[in-house]
Amino acid sequence: MSTKDAPTLDAQDEINRRLEGAGQRLTKGRRSVIEAMQSSDAPLSIPELQTIVGTSVPLSSLYRIITGLVDAKVLVKLEFAEGFARFELDESLDQHHHHLVCTDCGSVADVELADLEITLHATTKSIKRKVGFQVATHRLDFFGTCNDCTLT
């Protein structure tokens, strides 16, 4: 299943604050998209989103809503070399996590790896020292075979 714990009230407030900061109104379409994102445990593509929110929101609006939410830093855009983009909640509104991309069936699942973050934080500092690049955030994706595909 693709459900998660309900988002905290704080997260909702923070989303409202970011929308307001970006001068964006909380419309029906935006609310649908945000709810879909909050209840998904994996990044969603536009076609996937459309099956969730229904055709009452036309494609062009979906794209415009998504673009706006990325501008407002509510969502982030991800690409997994599939030829189209996926989107998920900004990590500050959710749990920082990484992705398990199944190269058999194309599924994308979230995974949390708390201990790794300590190491990655140290890496961030060594990158700054070695090449002068100031890391703001990182993305770690694992590619391989998911449990379902292994059993099939």
Partner DNA sequence: ATATATGCAAAACTTTTGCATACAA
Partner DNA sequence: TTGTATGCAAAAGTTTTGCATATAT
Which of its own copies, DNA, none sits in contact with 68, Cβ below 5 to 8 A by type? DNA
Contacts of 75 (CB under 8 A, 6+ apart): 37, 66, 69, 87, 88, 89, 90
Select 49 or 89, whichever has its Cβ closest to DNA.
49
Site for DNA in 70-89 (CB under 7 A): 83-85
Other Cβ atoms less than 10 A from the Cβ of 70: the count is 15
| Binding letters toward DNA, positions 102-131, x by CB under 7 A | ------------------------------
Least distance in angstroms from the C-beta of 48 to its own copies: 17
Select 52 or 120, whichever has its Cβ closest to its own copies.
120
Nearest to 88 by CA among 50, 48, 41, 47: 41
Site for DNA in 38-77 (CB under 7 A): 45-47, 56-61, 63-65, 67-68
Nearest to 137 by CA among 67, 45, 73: 73
Nearest to 99 by CA among 152, 68, 141: 141
| Binding letters toward its own copies, positions 84-123, x by CB under 8 A | -x--------------x-xx-----x-x-x--x--xx--x
Nearest to 132 by CA among 121, 143, 140, 124: 124
